[in-house]
């Protein structure tokens, strides 16, 4: 029996600051019944979970709080019609409590409402559906925090930061005034009061987090900060009790440690909000309300009320709220945020509209084909969230190091104190140990990789390249060869009329018009190409049109019998094509398909030779050249005829015929990928159809064209990256971004490890004051964040 499908959940978590926090939360969540997989993303303050059906939101919250963190909840109120007595209240309570993500349900009979607390991921539509299934008419009012978790944390940090510095600056005043010949030293008791206020006021957050880490047997950087600042305060209090003068105390060290760390964390919180700007930009493309046709009138309703089949009205300048078909009106839409397409797209009745696109022109009406939660925009947001929460292989190494870093630093600090004590200078040793504890905080190490990954994946999504996970981004940066399918990838994927050679008295336009007359109503791709080529030109109406399987079309135009089809069909009609075979062979060598137009009987004759070709995409040559300039080898694997593959390759500038192969079955493409990989090459494959899926899955990086039909959906499922808009220029842009991201990750890791390698010996030797250590630690974290944020301009 197959396993039940897992449920994906983005769980917001507040209070995390470093890699040790990440390791602690991942370890705790992994032990919760029903959790199959847990990955925590520090830069987004959330965990990406795979859950078994029947998971409990209450159990997840309890685990997170046990680890010393919190899960922010959405507050909501359901107004119910039909809520009259205790039995109704019990039925409503039981129905809503079963909705995944609901934590607390409180029914108010008097107000005919239900107060809810739920995870932010809980779908409003699920709450409404549960209430209505229980027999109630329901309306939903939510009170979600509009600023989000990071904004709330940033506000709390700002409050603590201002208070900490207001109390610390008087302690630092003597040091600042001394170069000017001023002596502003405060009495020892006043220093003690100010330092204690910082320690147990703004600094209480570090004690709380340190205790939670110890209880979870996973100490983090908060323990280092709490120990370091407490040691400085304790040493100063002991010296004050022993009668030391104001100049001999270290009260400013403990206070400044906390103040500098709070400054660093506040700046980190601001930077972390910036790293997720691309994702939040996508989320904000969905309007909160939508105009729906209800009870004979247009009404403004919450987006959660929208259902498939609803009539939806969208005004100029508004975002399209759901996927649907345009039913009334014409307009242009801007899909730049969704696909990277820079130009407005014309839409007319019958055309597909995507959620999140901007309506530029008139008032339009559409029929919804999906709920808002199932729209292409919602799926894109979920996929980007999942990708940003995933971890690149290089990040897992950093996480393992960071998880073992805190115990190692505690041992180093203890060893430093012991060595200095054995030399008879335990006071100086205590100061050195405090510096070790502070400077070694692994903030930079924990932020080095995830910040760059989040910015890189978000930036790629804004440019129309959807990255499945962080590992794919890292692999993309290291590929040597990129392999393309032909039809639908390098070419448009649909035949076009590319040439007409009149063979009798008729001219080109007459041959085209006669052929289009036969092609009207046929579903054959070549017939559709003829109708499209004819466009708005007048087309005669043929009668008695029949399709002859494998041969072509025949029909009448007045008294004239017409035939359109292959050389074999012409031979069956008794018409010799030999005199024009050289021209036909020349077209075939270019990869074109050939059709003949003939008339008769009684006067049977050839009227024209028509050639059809699949034109290369307009941007294909430029994209290939850009990839070659980045050092990649480009190859072409096609299921089409070898001559057609060679013709397209020649048009697109392929220089090595060994890199072009035609007439391949799906298993042949798969074998070619395996052969290149066996030679040690890292291979990316670009394709669009079902026949490309095996090769896409086997390649180190599979890139699927994302704007096609069912075949494209299968290809996208097998690929690790998807082009949201079929523009091949996005591939070299994505490759350039991936390489810059990997370079930023490596730079960050070198800096993070190098910083500790340089500063720890200085701190152990007593050459680094605790206050300087806290400032250096904060500067290190900001250096890493700033380097990652440079990718936003890539």
- The CATH number of whichever domain residue 291 belongs to comes to 2.70.150.10
Q: Which of 372, 358, 366 is nearest to 324 (CA)?
A: 366
Find the mean pLDDT for residues 444-456.
71
- Among 594, 613, 632, residue at a domain's last position: 613
CB of 380 within 8 A of CB of 282?
Answer: yes
State yes or no: pLDDT of 714 exceeds 50: no
Confidence grade of residue 202 (pLDDT, cut at 50, 70, 90): very high
Query: What is the residue-averaged pLDDT of the chain?
Result: 78
The token duo for 630 is: 């980045």
State both tokens at 112. 């005919």
Specify whether 505 is located in the same domain as 597.
yes
Residue ending a domain, choose from 350, 374, 398: 374
Inter-CA distances, 524 with 308, 518, 548, 551, 690, Å: 32, 11, 11, 12, 20
Q: Does residue 600 lie within any of the structural domains? A: yes
> What is the pTM assigned to this prediction?
0.58
Write the CATH number for 86.
3.30.70.100
Q: Residues 364, 250: one domain?
A: no
Residue 734, domain member (yes or no): no
Q: Catalytic residues, which ones?
A: 485
Token pair 């074998």: residue: 671
| pLDDT(248) > 80 | no
| Domain match, 651 and 669 both | yes
Q: How many domains does the chain have?
A: 6
Q: Give yes or no for a contact between 393 and 474, defined as CB atoms under 8 angstroms apart.
A: yes
Report percent pLDDT > 90 for the chain: 5
Q: Which residues of 193-218 are buried (b: 16+ CB within 10 A; e: fewer)?
A: ebbbbbbeebbebbbebbebbeebeb
Residues 110 and 199 in one domain: no
* Co-location of 158 and 266 in the same domain: yes
User: Do 263 and 224 lie in a common domain?
Assistant: yes
User: What is the reported pLDDT for 723?
Assistant: 79
The CA distance from 196 to 189, in Å, is 11
Q: Which of 144, 173, 196 is the last residue of a domain?
A: 144
In a domain? residue 97: yes
Whether cis (ω within 30° of 0) applies to the bond prior to 602 is yes
Tell whether 156 and 219 lie within a shared domain. Answer: yes
Domain membership of residue 381 (yes or no) is no
Residue 756 lies in a domain: no
Evaluate whether residue 455 is within a structural domain: no
Clarify whether residues 55 and 97 are in a common domain.
Answer: no
Q: Is residue 281 part of a domain?
A: no
Q: Which of 152-166, 389-403, 671-685 shows the lowest mean pLDDT across its residues? A: 389-403
Q: Cα–Cα–Cα angle for 479, 485, 488, nearest 5°?
A: 130
* Tens digit of each residue's pLDDT (9 = 90 or more) over 592-642: 778 889 988 777 788 888 988 778 888 888 999 999 999 999 998 887 767
Least confident stretch, 241-245, 435-439, 441-445: 441-445
CATH of the domain at 507: 3.40.1110.10
Q: Are residues 158 and 271 in the same domain?
A: yes
User: Is residue 447 assigned to a domain?
Assistant: no
Taking only the tens place, the pLDDT of each residue in 602-615 is 777 888 889 887 78
Q: Which domain holds residue 674?
A: 465-492+618-724
More confident of the two residues 273 and 614:
614
Same domain, 588 and 520: yes
Is residue 208 very low, low, confident or very high in pLDDT (cuts 50, 70, 90)?
A: confident
Please say if the pLDDT value at position 342 is more than 50: no
For the ranges 25-34, 129-138, 760-769, the lowest mean pLDDT is seen at: 129-138
**Cα gap 444→501, rounded to integer Å:** 70
Average pLDDT score over residue span 703-722: 57
Distance CA(736)–CA(166), nearest Å, equals 46
pLDDT for position 102 = 84
Q: Tell me, yes or no, whether 394 and 256 share the same domain.
A: yes
Highest average pLDDT, of 203-212, 383-392, 416-425, comes from 416-425
31 pLDDT above the threshold of 70 = yes
For residue 727, the model assigns a pLDDT of 81
pLDDT at 766 over 90: no
Same domain, 217 and 268: yes
């Amino acid at each position: 029996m197959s396993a039940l499908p897992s449920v994906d959940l983005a769980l917001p978590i507040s209070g995390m600051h470093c890699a040790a926090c990440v390791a602690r939360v991942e370890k705790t969540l992994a032990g919760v019944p029903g959790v199959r997989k847990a990955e925590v993303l520090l830069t987004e303050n959330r965990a990406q979970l795979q859950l078994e059906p029947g998971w409990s939101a209450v159990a997840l919250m309890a685990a997170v709080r046990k680890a010393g963190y919190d899960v922010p909840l959405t507050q909501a109120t359901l107004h119910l019609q039909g809520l009259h007595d205790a039995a109704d209240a019990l039925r409503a309570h039981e129905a809503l409590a079963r909705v995944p993500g609901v934590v607390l349900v409180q029914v108010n009979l008097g107000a005919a409402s239900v107060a809810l607390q739920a995870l932010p991921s809980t779908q409003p539509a699920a709450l409404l559906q549960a209430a209505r299934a229980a027999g109630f008419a329901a309306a939903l009012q939510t009170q979600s925090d509009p600023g989000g978790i990071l904004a709330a944390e940033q506000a709390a940090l700002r409050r603590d930061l201002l208070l900490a510095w207001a109390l610390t600056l008087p302690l630092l005043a003597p040091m600042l005034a001394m170069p000017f010949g001023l002596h502003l030293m405060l009495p020892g008791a006043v220093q003690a009061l100010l330092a204690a206020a910082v320690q147990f006021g703004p600094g209480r957050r570090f004690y709380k987090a340190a205790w939670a880490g110890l209880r979870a047997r996973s100490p983090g950087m908060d323990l280092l900060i709490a120990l370091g600042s407490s040691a400085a305060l304790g040493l100063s209090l002991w010296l004050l009790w022993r009668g030391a003068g104001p100049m001999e105390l270290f009260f400013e060290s403990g206070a400044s440690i906390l103040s500098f760390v709070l400054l660093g964390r506040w700046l980190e919180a601001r930077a972390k909000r910036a790293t997720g700007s691309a994702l939040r930009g996508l989320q904000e493309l969905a309007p909160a309300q939508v105009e729906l046709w209800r009870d004979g009138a247009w009404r403004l309703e919450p987006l959660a009320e929208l259902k498939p089949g609803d009539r939806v009205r969208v005004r100029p300048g508004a975002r399209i709220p759901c996927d649907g078909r345009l039913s009334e009106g014409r307009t242009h839409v801007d899909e730049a945020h969704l696909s990277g397409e820079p130009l407005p797209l014309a839409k007319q009745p019958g055309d597909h509209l995507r959620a999140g696109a901007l309506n530029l022109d008139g008032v339009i009406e559409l029929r919804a084909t999906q709920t808002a939660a199932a729209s292409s925009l919602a799926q894109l947001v979920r996929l980007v969230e999942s990708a940003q929460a995933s971890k690149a292989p290089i990040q897992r190494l950093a996480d393992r190091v960071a998880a073992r870093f805190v115990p190692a630093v505690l041992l180093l600090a203890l060893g430093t104190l012991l060595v200095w004590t054995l030399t008879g200078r335990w006071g100086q040793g205590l100061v050195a140990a405090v510096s070790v504890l502070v400077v070694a905080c692994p903030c930079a190490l924990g932020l080095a990789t995830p910040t760059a990954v989040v910015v890189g994946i978000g930036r790629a999504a804004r440019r129309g390249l959807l990255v499945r996970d962080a590992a794919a981004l890292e692999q993309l940066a290291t590929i040597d060869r990129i392999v393309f399918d032909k039809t639908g990838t390098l070419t448009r994927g649909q035949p076009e009329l590319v040439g007409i050679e009149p063979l009798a008295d008729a001219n080109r336009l007459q041959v085209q018009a006669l052929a289009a007359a036969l092609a009207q109503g046929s579903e054959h791709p070549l017939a559709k190409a003829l109708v499209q080529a004819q466009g708005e030109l007048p087309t005669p109406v043929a009668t008695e049109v029949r399709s002859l399987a494998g041969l072509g079309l025949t029909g009448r135009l007045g008294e004239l019998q017409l035939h359109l089809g292959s050389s074999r069909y012409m031979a069956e009609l008794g018409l010799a094509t030999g005199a024009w075979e050289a021209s036909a062979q020349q077209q075939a060598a270019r990869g074109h398909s050939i059709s003949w137009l003939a008339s008769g009987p009684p006067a049977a004759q050839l009227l024209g030779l028509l050639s059809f070709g699949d034109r290369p995409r307009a941007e294909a040559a430029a994209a290939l050249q850009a990839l070659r300039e980045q050092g990649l080898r480009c190859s072409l694997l096609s299921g089409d005829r070898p001559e057609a593959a060679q013709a397209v390759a020649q048009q697109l500038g392929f220089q090595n015929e060994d890199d072009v192969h035609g007439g391949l079955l799906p298993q042949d493409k798969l074998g070619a990928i395996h052969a290149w990989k066996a030679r040690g090459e890292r291979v990316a494959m670009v394709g669009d159809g079902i026949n490309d899926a095996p090769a896409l899955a086997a390649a180190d990086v599979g890139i699927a064209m994302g704007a096609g039909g069912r075949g494209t959906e299968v290809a996208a499922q097998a690929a690790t990256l998807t082009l949201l808009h079929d523009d091949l220029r996005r591939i070299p842009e994505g490759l350039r971004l991936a390489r810059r991201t990997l370079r930023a990750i490596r730079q960050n890791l070198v800096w993070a490890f190098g910083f500790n390698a340089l500063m720890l010996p200085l701190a152990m030797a007593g050459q680094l004051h605790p206050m300087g250590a806290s400032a250096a630690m904060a500067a290190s974290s900001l250096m890493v964040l700033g380097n990652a944020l440079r990718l936003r301009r890539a």
